[in-house]
Structure formats: C-alpha cells, structure tokens
Structure 1
Amino acid sequence: MSMDRDMSQTLLEQVNQALNEGTPLRIQGSNSKAMLGNPVAGEVLDTRNHRGIVSYDPTELVLTARAGTPLREIEAALHEAGQMLPCEPPHLGPEATLGGMVAAGLSGPRRPWAGSVRDFVLGTRVITGHGKLLRFGGEVMKNVAGYDVSRLMAGSFGCLGLLTEVSLKVLPRPRLCLSLRLAMGRNEALVELAEWGQQPLP
C-alpha cells in the first residue's frame, strides 16, 4: 500500500512540477498506441513504474490494478481464475498497459455483443490537470453515486487527467470457443456481410 502511495505521490509531484513550470506532458505507458489520435508534444510522463494488481476477487468479478500494469499480467491472472476482460482489448504491442487500454478505449471483436471498455470501468483514480488526485466510482457493479465520471476516461487519451488506478468488471471465460475462417476476396466478403446482416444471426 505504501508503494502505491509513493508512486502516486511521485506522479502527482511530476504533474504539479509541470503545472508550475508550464511544461506540457505526454502521458504514456508502453507507447503502443502512439499512432492513434493527434500527435502530442511534451515531456514524457511514463506510468510503467506504477504497476501491479491492487485487488482481485474472482467471486466478485472485480479487478483493480494500477495504470502501468501490463495487460498480459492482468490477462494471465484472469485466465488462471477462468475469467477474462470481456471487451477483448487489442494490445498493439507486447507491453501494452491497463492505462493505455482505458485511455485509448479500444475494444475487440466481442464489442457488439459484450460491450466496450467503457462498459466495464467501475472506478478510477485520476490526477487532474490542476494537480489533484481524485477518485471516481468504486469497486462495485451497482454504483448509484451520480454521473459516472470514471467511464468518461475511456477513450479520453489522457485529456481529462492521468489515470493512476482502474477498477474493472470481469466475466467468466467461455468454456468453449470456435473460430471459423472463410477464404474470400474483399468484394465477396462485403457482399456476404451485407447478406448476413439481414438475417437473424447472433
């Protein structure tokens, strides 16, 4: 717990120093999603030292981890318990982090049926541009505390603040998965997709 507080304090000090000096910051973890959005100039604020799973209770389907935690570590812990991140976030790099996943807001092919990253964010800890460490949401699925600011962080690309910690809802992994692969050209695939879209398929 003290390590978490120390690292949060270090990040907070970096933000406050940049604020006092008028220095723009470029928030990044592994930088795997740098090609997304507009180019950002500024002093790099690396979150990767602020890592680790804070709490995970498989029976509650809730995981809380620091923003610099690699997604592969989170997915390994979930896999061991027979669970998964339902939004299937793309890594786009071997060291992709939880903070980058939420900040980019990218979801995988399960999104139309399971939901997006935003749908599974329960709570966040954020350092604002005014140098304040704030907490939004919580670690429960039924949160009636008002407008859910924590979900706004999904897809915000760091514009609303620096994520330091995220609580996520997780789900059981399917017992069986089957992938089908159909070889066809682009035009033929578009025709097939249009036809499938008109049918009552799951």
Structure 2
Amino acid sequence: MSLAQAQDTALEEIVDRIREASARGTLLRIRGGGSKDFYGEWLQGELLETHGLDGIVSYEPSELVVTARAGMPLVELEAVLAERGQCLPFDAPHFGGGATVGGMVASGLSGPARASVGSVRDYVLGLTLVNGRAETMIFGGQVMKNVAGYDVSRLMAGALGTLGLIVEVSLKVLPIAPAEATLKFEMTAAEAIRQLNSWGGKPLPLNASCWVNEDGVPALYLRLRGAVAAVEAACRTLGGERLDNATMAREWLRCRDQQLPWFAERGERDLWRVSVAQTTPPMDLPEDPMIEWHGALRWVRAPRSEAAAVREAARAAGGHATLFRAGGAEDDAPLPQRFERLAPPLEHIHRELKRQFDPAGIFNNGRLYDF
C-alpha cells in the first residue's frame, strides 16, 4: 500500500467513526499528540486520534506555502521548512513534545513572537475539515486571495476541535531572519512596559520580549530579528547587555514551551493567562507576573483562592483571564471555569456555529464552553 493509499484509508476510517458517533450520539474527544491535553475543560468521550493523518501534502518554497496533514508532528514540519531556510514565525508552542500541526491550529496558541509577527490564525490559508455530519469540507486555499470574505478556515484556529476534525491545513511560511540578537535590561515592570511601547513606535526589528523577576532581579529580555544591518544598528541604539545567541536560542525555546524556572517554581499554584492591551501598566496581582508580547500577555501564578481576584484585575484593565494550567489544589477553593463567559451576543454566535458544524454535539463537547 502506498503512502497516499494509507492516508486515504486512515481518513475513511475516521469519517466512518464520526458518522457512527453522530448517528448514536457518542461523544468524541479529538487528540493529536496530546501535548495540550491540559488546556481547556475536562473532556469525556471516546478518543479519536489523528496520528494516521501524517506528512506533507504539498510544499512550494518559492510561494511560501506548505500544506500538511493534521497528525504530522510539528517538529518534523519545522525541520522540513528549516532545510529550505523557512519557518513558522509565530513560535508555535510544543509543550514538551508530541505537538501536531492540527493541534497547533486547533489550540490557536502562539509563542513569544506573536506580538510582532501575528498569531497562528494569521498564517492559515485554508484547511480541510470533517464536520459532525461526517462531511469533508474544504475552506480557503493556498493563496491569500482565496481567504477573502467570511474566512471559515481561520475560524478553526482556537476552536479546540469543537467544530470538527481538521484533516489538513495550508499555511503561509516566511524566510528565517538572517540576523538575531537578544538584549538584557535590568528594569522594573513599569519601566519595561514604557520602554517597549516607546520602542514599538520606532523602526526597530523587535521580535519578542519577556520581562521576569527572578531572585529579586527584574529584567527585560528583548529579541531582535531582521536584516543584519538593522539588528546591529538596533543593538547600538538600544544598549543593554548583548547575550550569547546560541544560549538565548535555547532559552527562548524554553520560554515558548513554559520550561523556564519561573514556570517550574509554580508549585501547587494555578497558572493564569491574562490578555490586556500592551500599554496596560502593572496590575494588582498576587505577585509579579511574567510579561510577554511587549506587555499584552501576562502569566500569573496564583493560589486557587485568588482566582476571582485575578479575573477582576484583568477585567479592570479591560482584558480577560484564562486558567491555563490548573495547580494541585492546595486549598479548598473549587476549580474555576477556565474560560470566561462570553457576552450574550457572542455566545449566541458560538452556539449557532457549533450547531451548524456539529449538530449532534459530538466533538470535544465542553472543552471550550459548556456547549
């Protein structure tokens, strides 16, 4: 059996399972590599894995487009792109391995570079999906002009598999930047936020930032990427301590995958993902957060009893808070809902989308919201 035939057989088996589940009302929980099992509400249902959908369907380096199947390991796709001097610029998290292309899109999570280059959603050109009626649907294409209007393919980014099973996805890729540098500045969170927003208004090759208070030493780490001349000029202009590129490349990967000591020291506390405007000053939080995305993303470690306070601080700043990783429940407070409730008009839209794509409600039921 050829590889293409094996892929067709795997897809047929998946479609048959979905058709049967829809007829019987059997819940299915979609799983790629399992690297993001922790993310979202607790799931029930039979496991539906995508590992049989593997490999690259097409790759046109000159067109900056790659189409890969959902079960392809993300590390393998990144290796293929790197061989041609290209990459997925949004730093998709791996979280320790096992991450797949489909899981990357379904989770909608992006890494340190997101504030400068955009999110995974911005790079989705098209995809193939199996809906709750066991129908194979194709949205978008392989060029930007095919994603005008109501862009259903990008709707799947961040839907956590609640609308259907992603079969394959076409992604825009970019050349790897010819130069990179990381600068370190010892400064408070307030100073870092002011500086980042000041630098953001200038023609500087800003790519990623991370402010963290480790052992009482608050510091901002700033990654520059771009043309050699632009990066070198920015280093001279900005000052700070220039750090070793090889060492910092590993550290940025650890930041992307939440493997830095700051995350490991969380202990029994919950980890919150707080999204606010980049210009938001330091917030009233249980402790200093880790700040990424030039101020727009704040990771907060907090005991379960502080859940309401974290959410209130986020709302007061005009943002929202998501319980990203649950801790070990060191107190008696109940586990809060991971995602904040939507405003009624938005919730109505979400419910209608769910009903249209998955009328029997079999896909990842409850992972995102209680519908």
Q: Residue 78 of structure 2 is aligned with which of 75, 100, 104? A: 75
Provide the residue aligned with 2:190 in structure 1: 191
**Structure 1 position 41, deviation (Å):** 0.8
CA contact (8 A) 2:141 2:147 kept: no
Partner Cα distance (2:96, 2:33) in 1? 8
Q: 1:124 to 1:194 in 2, by over 3 A?
A: same
Cross-structure match for 1:3: 6
Q: Give 1:119's aligned amino acid.
A: D
1:157 aligns with 2:160: yes
The answer to whether structure 1 residue 65 and structure 2 residue 68 are counterparts is yes
Cα 1:175–1:32 shift into 2, 3 Å: same
Q: 1:13 to 1:111 in 2, by over 3 A?
A: same
Q: What amino acid is the match of 1:107?
A: S
Q: CA RMSD in A?
A: 1.5
2: CA distance between counterparts of 1:100 and 1:192? 36
Post-superposition shift, 1:198? 4.3
Q: 2:137 is aligned with what amino acid?
A: L
Amino acid at match of 2:37: A
Aligned to 2:356: none
1:132-157 CA-partner distances (Å, limit 9, x unpaired): 11111111122156421000000000
CA distance in 2, matches of 1:198, 1:162: 39
Q: Does 1:17 align with 2:20?
A: yes
CA distance in 1 between partners of 2:53 and 2:147 (Å): 29
- The separation in 1 between residues aligned to 2:73 and 2:193, in whole angstroms, is 38
Number of aligned pairs?
198
- Conserved? CA contact 2:139–2:153, under 8 Å: yes
SS in 2 for 1:177: strand
Greater relative contact order structure (CA < 8 Å, 6+ sep): 1
Q: Answer yes or no: is the 8 Å Cα contact 2:126–2:147 preserved in 1.
A: no
Return 5+ residue gaps in structure 1 as ranges.
Answer: none
Quote the residue 2:357 is aligned against.
Answer: none
Q: Does 1:125 align with 2:128?
A: yes
Residues 20-52 of structure 1 deviation map (CA, whole Å, 9 limit, x = unaligned)? 221100001111111111111110101012111
**Residue of structure 2 aligned with 1:86, choices 89, 98, 102:** 89
More strand by share: 2
Structure-2 separation of matches of 1:58 and 1:179:
28
Q: Which residue of 2 aligns with 1:47?
A: 50
Indicate if the aligned counterparts of 2:7 and 2:52 stay in contact, CA closer than 8 A.
no
- Is the CA contact (8 Å cut-off) linking 2:125 and 2:147 kept in structure 1? no
Structure 1 residues 76 and 162 mapped into 2: Cα distance closer, same or farther (>3 Å)?
same
Amino acid of the structure 2 residue aligned with 1:170 = V
1:180 is aligned to 2:183: yes
Q: Secondary structure at the match of 2:145?
A: coil
- Runs (4 or more) in structure 1 with deviation over 4 Å come to none
How far the C-alpha of 1:181 sits from its partner, in A, is 3.6
2:236 equivalent in structure 1: none
SS class of match (2:170): strand
TM-score by structure 2 length? 0.51
Distance 1:198 1:10 in 2: 51
SS in 1 for 2:182: coil
| AA partner of residue 193 (structure 1) | A
Distance 1:45 1:144, change over 3 A: closer
61-70 vs 15-24, which moves further: 15-24
Q: Does 1:28 align with 2:48?
A: no
Query: What CA distance in whole angstroms lies between the structure 1 residues aligned with 2:112 and 2:193?
Result: 17
- Where does the alignment leave 5 or more consecutive residues of structure 2 unmatched? 205-371
